[in-house]
């Protein structure tokens, strides 16, 4: 039975009383909301529901705490089958990919299991990788390359695990896999396509001659696009390749000049790693005017309310009145920004940039109304 209005008010007062005793609590309004929710649920008689909520909070707390320690490092999530033998081409390619992307100063996140997951941890090395293990009736033991490491996280639920995967990921590589890999791949594509996550590189990597992602790619082009289920521009959200070199370049080049995005007062701001000339901006306006609800793409300074990561206040910014829902076309704009060979300054990423809504970058911001 849900609490009455009087009970809800009482729980609110109790939660506020707890906060009064925590003099150093920041973001009190958010902590108050969480406390009120927990207290309201204390009236529920459904043990299983309460157990789910408790486990969810605990799993996310642990994951967020560990990932925060490495918040200044960009990370690549590698998905793929647990059934790939170590001597096989899929395993060896995933291992090489992990080793090569670490050389470009990325860390690697895997599911901590065997197959492609073990390849990712082995290639990246224990110091440069994470493992996000799912508790199952089988395959529950983490691979030896990440087992017993501080950065090994155990999850009871797939949905909390997937949230942790994407929240701090700045790129995703899909190696050949089964239902789990398809689920994870389509979820990331959906989050990016709908603007529920930051733009990020999504690479479908398979060994030469396997045709694994070629068939998938062909089905998308021959079925989803003709039926109007996705836009042709959405094909820009992922890349299919058999080359580790090409996969690494796709990921690294995405952040060569582009850094991140945020919304402020209804407009989209693109943060950059290097200055951009007015001539370049004019060219962007001529090519990507269809992305705008009005006005022009403009070179601007960071909004005065830039409070989340102060080091980003000095980054060059582009402001545009973005026609929300055009993620594929927006990715093409980012590609155009990255295309010109200009020197780039390396800036640390934002905390939890990958799977967080761009509107959640800073306190007090609001999403666009379009």
pLDDT of residue 347: 78
Domain boundary among 68, 89, 104: 68
Per DSSP (E only), the strands in 66-151 are 75-79, 107-110, 129-134
The two three-digit tokens of residue 106, written as one number:
């990325």
Work out how many domains the chain is built from and give that number.
3
Answer whether residue 169 is part of any domain. yes
Q: Are residues 80 and 178 in the same domain?
A: yes
**Type and span of the H or E element at 217:** helix 212-219
Answer whether residue 365 is part of any domain. no
Q: Provide the residue-wise pLDDT of the chain in tens; the chain has 370 residues.
A: 678 888 899 999 999 999 888 876 778 888 999 999 999 988 888 889 999 999 999 999 999 999 989 988 999 999 999 999 999 999 999 999 999 999 999 999 999 999 999 999 999 999 999 999 998 776 568 999 999 999 999 999 999 999 999 988 999 999 999 999 999 999 999 999 998 889 999 999 999 999 999 999 999 999 999 999 999 999 999 999 999 999 999 999 999 999 999 888 889 999 999 999 999 999 999 999 999 999 999 999 888 765 556 677 788 999 999 998 899 999 999 999 999 887 666 777 876 665 555 555 544 433 444 3
Nearest residue to 170 via CA among 131, 205, 128, 198: 198
pLDDT of residue 308: 53
Give the model confidence (pLDDT) of 304-346 as tens digits.
Answer: 765 556 677 788 999 999 998 899 999 999 999 999 887 666 7
The two three-digit tokens of residue 243, written as one number:
């080359």
Answer whether residue 370 is part of any domain. no
Per DSSP (E only), the strands in the chain are 75-79, 107-110, 129-134, 152-155, 171-174, 202-205, 239-241, 258-264, 267-272, 292-300, 317-322
Distance separating alpha carbons of residues 210 and 206, to the nearest angstrom: 7
Answer whether residue 181 is part of any domain. yes
**Type and span of the H or E element at 334:** helix 327-339
Answer whether residue 367 is part of any domain. no
CATH number at residue 209: 3.40.50.450
Give the model confidence (pLDDT) of 197-252 as tens digits.
Answer: 899 999 999 999 999 999 999 999 999 999 999 999 999 999 999 999 999 999 99
Q: Are residues 290 and 242 in the same domain?
A: no
Answer whether residue 368 is part of any domain. no
Answer whether residue 132 is part of any domain. yes
Q: Which domain holds residue 342?
A: 258-360
């Amino acid at each position: 039975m849900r609490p009455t209005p009087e009970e809800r008010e009482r729980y609110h007062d109790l939660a506020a009383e707890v906060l009064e005793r925590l003099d150093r609590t920041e973001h009190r309004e958010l902590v108050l909301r969480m406390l009120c929710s927990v207290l309201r649920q204390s009236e529920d008689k459904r043990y299983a529901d309460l157990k789910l909520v408790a486990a969810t909070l605990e799993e996310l707390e642990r994951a967020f705490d560990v990932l925060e320690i490495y918040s200044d490092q960009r990370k690549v999530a590698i998905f793929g089958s647990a059934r790939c033998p170590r001597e096989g081409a899929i395993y060896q390619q995933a291992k090489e990919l992990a080793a090569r992307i670490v050389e470009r100063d990325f860390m690697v996140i895997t599911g901590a299991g065997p197959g492609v997951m073990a390849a990712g941890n082995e290639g990246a090395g224990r110091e440069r990788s994470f493992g996000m293990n799912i508790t199952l009736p089988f395959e529950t033991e983490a691979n030896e390359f990440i087992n017993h490491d501080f950065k090994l996280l155990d999850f009871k639920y797939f949905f909390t695990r997937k949230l942790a995967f994407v929240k701090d990921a700045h790129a995703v590589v899909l190696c050949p896999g089964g239902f789990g890999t398809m689920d994870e791949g389509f979820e990331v594509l959906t989050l990016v396509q709908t603007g529920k996550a930051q733009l990020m590189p999504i690479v479908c990597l398979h060994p030469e001659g396997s045709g694994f992602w070629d068939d998938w790619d062909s089905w998308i082009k021959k079925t989803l696009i003709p039926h109007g289920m996705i836009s042709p521009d959405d094909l820009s959200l992922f890349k299919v390749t058999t080359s580790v070199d090409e996969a690494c370049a796709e990921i690294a080049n995405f952040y060569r000049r582009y850094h991140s995005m945020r919304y402020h007062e209804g407009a989209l701001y693109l943060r950059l790693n290097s200055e951009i000339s007015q001539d370049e901006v004019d060219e962007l306006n001529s090519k990507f005017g269809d992305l705008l609800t009005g006005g022009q793409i403009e070179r601007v300074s960071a909004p005065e309310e830039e409070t989340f990561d102060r080091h980003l206040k000095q980054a060059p910014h582009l402001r545009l009145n973005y026609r929300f829902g055009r993620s594929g076309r927006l990715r093409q704009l980012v590609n155009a920004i990255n295309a010109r060979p200009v020197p780039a300054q390396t800036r640390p990423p934002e905390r939890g940039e990958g799977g967080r809504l761009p509107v959640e970058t800073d306190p007090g911001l609001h999403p666009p109304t379009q």
